[in-house]
Chains A and B, each alone.
Chain A
Amino acid sequence: MNRFLLPLGAFLLLAVVLAIGIRHAPDKGVIASPLLGRPAPQFALPDLTQPARLVRSVDLKGHWYLFNVWGTWCGECRAEHETLLRVQRAGLVPLIGLDWKDDASEARAWLAQFGNPYQAVAVDASGRVAIDWGVYGAPETFLVDPRGIVVYKHVGALTDAVWSQEILPRVGAARPGKS
């Protein structure tokens, strides 16, 4: 009896450890952002539609906002565009776009053609701000709270499901009465 107790115990321990690992494994290919729970990186970049103006992170403090990284060269960005427009129509969280390493005139044409869901779009021609945000592919979307803390990150096209299951509850929980 005692002979089998040790191997059995070791097996069960290993099974528990592996089960925890499998349960907590993130979606394949999605890398947890070290930014979560930390202040959003600062930036001041030219506005896509009014190049003389700056889109500045300091101006965004005090409100929830979604920071959406996109580019006209990115196919998945086209896929999420309808969802972005619905998010804008919902009027709950403003969208701030980051046009990442893109041709500005093509980006303006894209918004003219498909509709502009953004409150403002910052132009990141050098890609430096995207790097500060730890972006490694477009589209990526960050939810930033009124204190300027990044509370959630979604990699890949934003979907209605992500909006209603991941983003809305976070925003809604923080301001009861308005959902």
Chain B
Amino acid sequence: MRAWLYRLAAVGVLGAAVAAWAVDPTQLADPKLQARYEALTHELRCMQCQNESLADSPVDLAADLRREVRDMLLAGKSDDQVRGWMAARYGDFILFRPRYSLRNAWLWGAPALLLSIGALVCWRVVRQRTALLAADPESPEEDGRS
């Protein structure tokens, strides 16, 4: 009996949480547009809460920006046009997925660069060690220590 009560309470809490997440009731008639709408509102930042997407934010400004996204999609704008429109007003900061640009190219390139530097260092160390080992008349195995 008690276990059942707990289960019921858990379901209730879960249901309430799901209801709380349904910030955006927007439903577009065209399922393709709806999918693009949902994708876009999830990758645009709510400028007021900053770590939430437009889709998840309950604040007024997020609702206004979702309305703009919806209107632009209904007007036949492409995803990139919507992103560009947002970035022209709020800067690249509004895009959760940063765009490539000359200014941040070094940032995109940095991991590959650092990885190749690491690989180079690794290769040199290994080569030096092998050379040392080859030059050493007593190999470590015969050392008796290990």
Contact = CB atoms under 8 A, between A and B. Distances in A.
A132 B89 contact: yes
Interface stretch (A26-34, A60-68, A170-178): A26-34
B48 A136 contact: yes
A108 interface: no
A38 B87 CA distance: 14
A1 B32 CA distance: 65
A136 B91 CA distance: 12
B90 A127 contact: no
B64 A134 contact: no
Contact of B90 (A31, A101, A128): A31
Contact of B64 (A32, A33, A127): A127
A98 to B, nearest CB: 14
Interface in A86-139: 101, 126-128, 131-134, 136-137
Contacts of A127: 60-61, 64
Contacts of B60: 101, 127
A137 B90 contact: no
B65 interface: yes
Interface of A is mostly: loop
B83 to A, nearest CB: 13
A115 to B, nearest CB: 27
Contacts of B87: 34
B16 interface: no
Contact of A31 (B65, B88, B93): B93
Interface in B34-76: 47-48, 60-61, 64-65, 68
23 contacts: A31-B47, A31-B90, A31-B91, A31-B93, A32-B91, A34-B88, A34-B90, A34-B91, A34-B92, A101-B60, A101-B64, A126-B64, A127-B60, A131-B61, A131-B64, A131-B65, A131-B68, A131-B89, A132-B89, A134-B91, A136-B61, A136-B90, A137-B61
Given A101-B60, A127-B60, 19 more contacts: A31-B47, A31-B91, A32-B91, A34-B89, A34-B91, A126-B64, A127-B61, A131-B61, A131-B64, A131-B65, A131-B89, A132-B89, A133-B89, A134-B89, A136-B47, A136-B48, A136-B90, A137-B48, A137-B61
